[in-house]
Structure 1
Amino acid sequence: MLNSKKFFIKAPLAPFALLFSAGIFLQNVIHLSLWTALAITSIIIFFSLIPKVSKREVVIFLLVLSGGILRMSSSQWHAEKIENNLAQLNGKIVRISGNITAIRETERGFRYSVSVDSIITNNATIRESIKVNLYTESDFIASMGDKVDVAAEWREISPPRNPGEFDFKKYYQQQNIWAKGFMEEDEPSSITAQEGFSISTAVYDLRMSIRDLFNETVGGDAGKLMSALILGLREEVPGEIKQDFVDTGVIHVLAVSGLHVGYVLVIVMALVKILPVSWRWEKILIILLLLFYAILSGGKASVWRATFMAGMYVAAPIFSRKANLWNIISAAALILLVYNPNYLTDLGFLMSFSAVISIVFFYNQFNQILPEGMRVNSMRNPFLKGVWALFLVSVSAQIGTLPFTWSFFHRIPVISLAANIIIVPVIGVIVSLGFAIM
């Protein structure tokens, strides 16, 4: 069993991650004002600076806890400020000016994600660093990075109406998308082509070029599936195929996440071995290529989570450190929660970390409590060993994610245990083939 004292010695960041998370959770319950949270944190900092204060560990722990409260409070304050500024716009025709950051084709035209410069109404100009999903007809064609200026009907994203219903408003706000705009076709509009070089535009163009390469080389649904699994273009996959993945409980493999980053890590580690560079440069190249893949695949939160953890694991030897998985998980969680404390209530974040934590803990436990002949390391047949290991990893992950799966989807994914044994290796083959084509 896990010895808590030894655990915290080997993973000193774990209590910090837990306390910071507890502070965020506490703030979501008590809703302190930003100034109250700031005052409490300041008092604790004052006590921590007193040289002869006793119980310094308690003061440090309280400081981390209050840090979580303060970070969440500042996020809530910022969100309330934006919401108050935008509340007057709902249902009105406004002029939206900004740059295109994402493009998706719809049945009637396009959906552009616009990074807003200004929102102009009849009597005011609002400037907030937000994004808006702009819906247009098919004849309004803009490119990544272009500056658009259009008249559109502003609509707030509706909160859930029924208990247990998916909260699209919260989901989009976590991506800094605060509203939908429906373009007024009769009003004047403009598109100004982007000048100069842009990394985001270059990455988008590269993604589209690779997508076209997959469609030309592989073709059909298989090419679209490859684009989803490698580039994160999930919208490319036909609806009936998505439903098949849902029915078998493996829809998670269509979203680029830790599984895909893991396969990419294996491929990249094999590739850099060919290069005539020192082991230190090997590690640096692996980290850089992982970062590039995170950007190439769309930069989703799930990919960055896995990239953080994989990068820290790879980087540990550079700093003469032995990689401790619990410390790496804690560091990744802490960094991401400092960046965005709202991740703590994000289903993807919760399921991702609960799956990883559960695999790290239960996989080892299974290999200790199972009879000798059923332990992975005791098996001699490579095929049976691989299948059994995948099954234990799948069961371990399901144990961790089960509370969230039941709470949010009201279903227990029994069939996915068997499906994962087949699907997960196939995903590895598809990812490898995709990289070979690239």
Structure 2
Amino acid sequence: MRAEYFFGFIISFIVGIAMESILNFGYSFAVLCAFVSIFVYLTVEVRSQSKKVLLVSLVLLGVAFGVFRVNVSQVNTPEHSLTNLVGRVTEINGIIIDEPDVREEYTNIILGSVEPRLGREINSTLNEKMLILVRVPVYPEFKYGDNVSVIGKITIPRNFQSEEGVRAFDYKSYLAKDDIHYQMYFPKISILAHNKGNILREKLFYFKAWLIENISTSIPEPESSLASGITLGAKQSLGEELIQKFRETGVAHIVVLSGYNIAVVVGIISRLIMFMPFTIRLIMSALGIILFAVMVGGGTTVVRATFMALVVILARVLGREGDALRVLVLVGGLMVFMNPMIFLHDVSFQLSFLATLAIVIFVPVIEKYFMFVSSRTLREIVVTTFATQIFVLPLILYHMGSVSLIGFVANIFILPVVPLAMLAVAFVAVLGWVPLAGSVLAFSAYILLSYMIIAVEFFARVPFASLKNIPFSLLMLAILYAFLGYFIFRFRSRLLDY
């Protein structure tokens, strides 16, 4: 398939998703676009055989498909299943369908297969996709697969003003993208039964908890929490103050299980199996990263980050920007097709996609201008950091209204240590119980983790390390990305040949 046809259809499909999500045209607009697409192709293409006409037809068809997909997803949304119970104290039985999100002062759990008790009867006719976010105290602890009964007031999520941003955060849509349409705060809760979830996920969560326990007993805080965060995505015990410092210095992506961390895991696996043939090494790296994603919980964010990391691997293997870009756009299009709401309401998806896009199309353009950095590893970090920060900066300004002025420098000082720290922590998690070896490994990991925390705290103390409350409109966002895209594709060949 010609590149313009491929990109034209997928990009127009995503445009259709965005248009329908914002303007809500309805099915009629999708039918109109599809009809015009067919009409243009049949009445003009046959006569002129113009490739541009076929492109226009595909673009219109892509828009129609995007509008249609959003409407289908809205029909299947179980949003109104509990509407008549909102504001009323209700007893609900449900199963915890994901790993509890433990914070400093509370724990968020997600209930699925919910059954509200109406009088003495249980209504089990609700849509199985409907989920409820329940906020409970940190103790007693709850686990994935627990069947619980909660008694409290059902509420609908409300948007709120972000402390960091300059606009209201669309919290309702943020939850709705994961089929969560109702909340319950600090209800009376009791456990009815255990082990009602998927047995494989239960075993994987148990294994993850065992690894975290080994880390916490071998490494003191706050280094222990940082270790769990960079390797297993368990950052809850870091504390909001330290997490905020990571944000201000532009390195918050290392304390969550982002595409960067997963790419590091891929690199570690590749080096451990360096002796194998190239094809086998590639397959083993892909399988290893998939198993790692499953082990840490396999949540939607992790799955998306895994796909993006695999795209980066493929880009390096193919060595061709065009092929890698096609794979990236296809993967992004498939993700949006599976869940149309992530395009506008999932910041993690937006950041992951843009960061990967920067690696695929911008790093090859600017890499030769950083040849003065003699170390190849350091040069890769510098170029990748510069490219990704350029690409994600407008989006961060739009969503957060803040920007780290020292993020580029902080990343250069911290990122080279992350792979070593992750490898050391991985050995501690598995071998921490071994008396002598565990102590040596734990001390090595502690030194690396302490360096990272000290560096973050140092950069966070720099005057004007970050700017906050910056007004940044959607129009400004569109203009900046339009300019960036024009600059790259207009001067790409000239920059590459310079």
For the aligned pair, the TM-score class normalised by the smaller chain equals 0.7 to 0.9
The answer to whether the 8 Å contact 2:105/2:138 transfers is: yes
How far 1:22 sits from its partner (Å)? 0.9
The answer to whether the 8 Å contact 2:146/2:193 transfers is: yes
The answer to whether the 8 Å contact 2:321/2:361 transfers is: no
How far 1:153 sits from its partner (Å)? 1.9
**Separation in 2 of the partners of 1:159 and 1:119?**
25
What SS does structure 2 have at the residue aligned with 1:206?
helix
2:25 counterpart (20, 32, 38):
32
Which residue pairs with 1:5 in the alignment? none
Which residue pairs with 2:442 in the alignment? none
**Separation in 2 of the partners of 1:323 and 1:269?**
24
Which residue pairs with 2:180 in the alignment? 177
**Separation in 1 of the partners of 2:251 and 2:313?**
28
Which residue pairs with 2:365 in the alignment? 365
Which residue pairs with 2:494 in the alignment? none
RMSD of aligned residue pairs (Cα, Å): 3.4
Cα 1:131/1:274, change in 2 over 3 Å: farther
1:86 counterpart (82, 86, 89):
82
The answer to whether the 8 Å contact 1:10/1:324 transfers is: no
**Separation in 2 of the partners of 1:179 and 1:208?**
29
Cα 1:408/1:111, change in 2 over 3 Å: closer
Which residue pairs with 1:250 in the alignment? 251
How far 1:281 sits from its partner (Å)? 4.3
Which residue pairs with 1:167 in the alignment? 170
Which residue pairs with 1:96 in the alignment? 92
Question: Superposition pairs for residues 423-434 of structure 1, below 5 Å?
Answer: 423-434=414-425
What SS does structure 2 have at the residue aligned with 1:83?
coil
What SS does structure 2 have at the residue aligned with 1:341?
coil
Cα 1:41/1:134, change in 2 over 3 Å: same
Which residue pairs with 2:16 in the alignment? 23
Matched, 1:336 2:335: yes
How far 1:168 sits from its partner (Å)? 2.2
What SS does structure 1 have at the residue aligned with 2:342?
helix
What SS does structure 2 have at the residue aligned with 1:181?
strand
- Which string of whole-angstrom CA distances, capped at 9 and with x for unpartnered residues, describes residues 50-88 of structure 1? 799634444333222211111122223334xx3333332
Question: Superposition pairs for residues 345-356 of structure 1, below 5 Å?
Answer: 345=344, 346-356=346-356
**Separation in 2 of the partners of 1:84 and 1:402?**
38
How far 1:36 sits from its partner (Å)? 2.5
Q: Which amino acid aligns with 1:328?
A: V
Which residue pairs with 2:284 in the alignment? 285
Structure 2 unaligned spans of 5+: 47-52, 431-498
Cα 1:155/1:30, change in 2 over 3 Å: closer
**Separation in 2 of the partners of 1:226 and 1:317?**
28
What SS does structure 1 have at the residue aligned with 2:403?
coil
Which residue pairs with 1:263 in the alignment? 264
Give me the identity figure in percent. Answer: 20
Cα 1:65/1:314, change in 2 over 3 Å: same
- Larger displacement relative to structure 2 (278-287 or 236-245): 278-287
Structure 1 unaligned spans of 5+: 1-7
**Separation in 2 of the partners of 1:347 and 1:115?**
24
How far 1:108 sits from its partner (Å)? 6.6
Matched, 1:148 2:148: yes
The answer to whether the 8 Å contact 1:131/1:176 transfers is: yes
Q: Which amino acid aligns with 1:349?
A: F
State the TM-score, normalized to the length of structure 1: 0.82
Q: Which amino acid aligns with 1:268?
A: I
Matched, 1:420 2:417: no
- Larger displacement relative to structure 2 (107-116 or 341-350): 107-116
What SS does structure 1 have at the residue aligned with 2:100?
strand
